[in-house]
Amino acid sequence: MEMSVTSLKYKHFVSLVLIVMFSCLSNMNVVATEQQQNELPFNFQTVAPANQRTQGNYFDLDVSAGEKQEVTVNLNNLSETDLIIKPTLLRAVTTKDGKISYGMHQDELIESPSVDITQVIELPEAVTIPKNGSQELHVTINVPKSFNQGTILAGVELASKEKHSATTNQIDNTYAYMFSIALHHKKAVDPLVKIEDSQLNFIGNQTYIETPIINPEVGIQRDLKITTQLIDTNTDSEIESKTKKELKMAPESTMNYEVGINKLSPGTYSVQTVVEFSNQRTIKHETQLTVDENVEGPQTISEELPKSTTNNHALYKWLTTIIVVLIVTAIAIKIYQDRQK
């Protein structure tokens, strides 16, 4: 009977520890979710002018060559501290997977763009919003006189810092938003890209065929369909054939397009890249690749590297918490067992 009661107490203790452990994990997850949903200490709202094409918290404007226009962004401080907003102008770039993003990544820009966005869009250095107050940010747009077709595209990052007095030792917290500015000429650009020679690229245990594709036009290339075919020239047989659809390219940008492949045996291969537009126009390019014995690559490869959006810091914290809870649980069980002897 003593054994049965002790066993029951032990099971009750373990159950209690497990309940506490899962409660801790559950609470941690709730806290992370709440943190993600918390609003930043400020927000913004663009004021749509008469030449706005579509409605949204951005500027999507019909313009003509040589025009000058000022647009307004309303900034609202939701905090009890003055905020300094620093706007930064960003180039529109094209990611490896055919999406438009914003940044200053030099490898994603063409060498000599015909449009210098720093001459087209003027921003103030900074704007101060009083606590619980509002302030206007004015953006000046100078459309180039040479702009005769297509779209000029840029992004504006709004980064804020809490304004502390010089005597305090508080750490500045930085927050940011981003909105886009698109300036459209009534004449669209022709569907056109340039395809450069492909090369093998090794990333970790993955092997890729990387093909630079350039949009030389001052305009967005939409709904692209890209097919990459790998052929063994010795046997004239197809090794790989992969297609991606509905890709986009920012104006005057480069897409370092990547396709995952299996490890190649030594030999000579042909990489055939075909870009197809929505109007059925196609542009083709062929590259000859030679793989020798000294090329080191992985044994196998998945379709393509996963693009993780996980917050690594949060993941490590979560795993650390699990390990700590398990260790504490094991120690508690051991102490409990020793006391029962």
Q: Is residue 93 part of a domain?
A: yes
* Residue appearing with tokens 């500027």: 59
Q: Is residue 256 part of a domain?
A: yes
**Distance between CA atoms of residues 214 and 253, nearest Å:** 6
Q: What is the pTM of this model?
A: 0.71
Q: Is residue 94 part of a domain?
A: yes
Mean pLDDT, all residues of the chain? 80
12 pLDDT exceeds 70? no
Under a CB-based contact definition with an 8 Å cutoff, are residues 139 and 156 in contact? Answer: yes
175 and 67 both lie in a single domain: yes
16 and 91 both lie in a single domain: no
pLDDT given at position 341: 58
Q: Identify the CA nearest to 220 among candidates 107, 93, 115, 118.
A: 93
Q: Is residue 265 part of a domain?
A: yes
Q: How many residues does the chain have?
A: 341
Residues 6+ apart with CB under 8 A from 243: 225, 226, 227, 228
Under a CB-based contact definition with an 8 Å cutoff, are residues 289 and 128 in contact? Answer: no
Determine how many CB atoms are found less than 10 A away from the CB of residue 23. Answer: 10
* Lowest-confidence region among 162-171, 203-212, 215-224: 162-171
Q: Is residue 320 part of a domain?
A: yes
130 and 100 both lie in a single domain: yes
101 pLDDT exceeds 70? yes
53 and 164 both lie in a single domain: yes
55 and 113 both lie in a single domain: yes
Per-residue pLDDT averaged across 109-118, rounded?
82
Q: Which of 184, 218, 234 is the last residue of a domain?
A: 184
Q: Which of 150, 184, 218 is the last residue of a domain?
A: 184
pLDDT given at position 320: 64
100 and 161 both lie in a single domain: yes
60 and 164 both lie in a single domain: yes
Owning domain of residue 11: 2-37+310-340
**Residue 137 CB-half CA count within 13 A:** 28
204 and 169 both lie in a single domain: no
**pLDDT per residue as tens digits for the range 161-178:** 765 555 555 555 567 899
Residues 6+ apart with CB under 8 A from 272: 228, 229, 230, 231, 284, 285, 286
117 and 80 both lie in a single domain: yes
Q: Which of 184, 204, 221 is the last residue of a domain?
A: 184
99 and 16 both lie in a single domain: no
* Lowest-confidence region among 92-106, 139-153, 216-230, 234-248: 92-106
140 and 236 both lie in a single domain: no
pLDDT given at position 2: 42
What confidence category does residue 227 fall into, taking pLDDT thresholds of 50, 70 and 90? very high
**Distance between CA atoms of residues 248 and 225, nearest Å:** 9
pLDDT given at position 195: 97
pLDDT given at position 109: 61
Please give the tally of structural domains in the chain: 3
86 and 215 both lie in a single domain: no
